[in-house]
Amino acid sequence: EPEVTQTPSHQVTQMGQEVILRCVPISNHLYFYWYRQILGQKVEFLVSFYNNEISEKSEIFDDQFSVERPDGSNFTLKIRSTKLEDSAMYFCASSEDGVAKNIQYFGAGTRLSVL
Interface contacts to another protein, rule CB under 8 A: 31, 33, 35, 41-45, 48, 50, 55-56, 58, 89, 91, 93, 95, 98-109, 111
Q: In angstroms, what is the minimal distance from the CB of 16 to another protein?
A: 26
Closer of 14 and 99 to another protein (Cβ): 99
Nearby residues of 115 by Cβ (< 8 Å), 6 or more positions away:
12, 13, 14, 15
d(C-alpha 5, C-alpha 54), whole Å: 20
The amino acid at residue 20 is: I
Closer of 14 and 59 to another protein (Cβ): 59
Q: In angstroms, what is the minimal distance from the CB of 59 to another protein?
A: 12
Closer of 57 and 78 to another protein (Cβ): 57
Q: Is 78 exposed, middle or buried (0-12, 13-18, 19+ CB in 10 A)?
A: middle
